[in-house]
Amino acid sequence: MLKEIISTEKSPKAIGPYSQAVRFNGFVFVSGQIPIEPESGKISKGNIQEQTKQVLENLKNILAAGGSSLKNVLRTTIFLTNLENYSAVNETYAKYFDGLPPARSTVQVSRLPMDAQIEIDIIASTNTQENFLDA
């Protein structure tokens, strides 16, 4: 099976030599997304919750282009420049991952591209949730 590059105009273009996502063998590997507004190509000016929402919307659009959805996310990694934002990020994150939340790591980093406050990457399946439950 060959890897397939996933790209959508509904999310920001990659700002480096990488793909928005790669689909391979029933999985979608989504590159880290920062709170870039696709229309302007600029970082969202909102607070950390609004920026988290922008990141998750970008991820949701890329997953859809890759034949998956947030319901099929298996693992996320959240990168924060300030771990004091952990609770605020969780408030927004929980609205996107109710029910059966994915595995997750959260780490504080010294700096992110474009001086963003948050970045999230995702690994998801292209199988439906029903297929998981039947397995």
Q: pLDDT (tens digit, 0 to 9) for every residue of the chain, 135 residues total?
A: 789 999 999 999 998 999 999 999 999 999 999 999 999 999 998 999 999 999 999 999 999 999 999 999 999 999 999 999 999 999 999 999 988 899 999 999 999 999 999 999 999 999 865 544 444
Query: Cβ neighbours of residue 3 under 8 Å, at least 6 residues apart?
Result: 22, 23, 24
As a whole number of angstroms, the distance between CA 107 and CA 127 comes to 28
pTM of the model: 0.92
Structural domain boundaries enclosing 91 = 4-134
Contact (CB, 8 A) for 58 and 11: yes
Q: How many domains does the chain have?
A: 1
pLDDT of residue 131: 45
For position 130, what pLDDT does the model report?
Answer: 53
- Cα separation, 91 vs 72, whole angstroms: 20
CATH, residue 46: 3.30.1330.40
Pairing status of strand 27-33 against strand 73-80: unpaired
Distance of CA 3 to the CA centre of its chain: 19
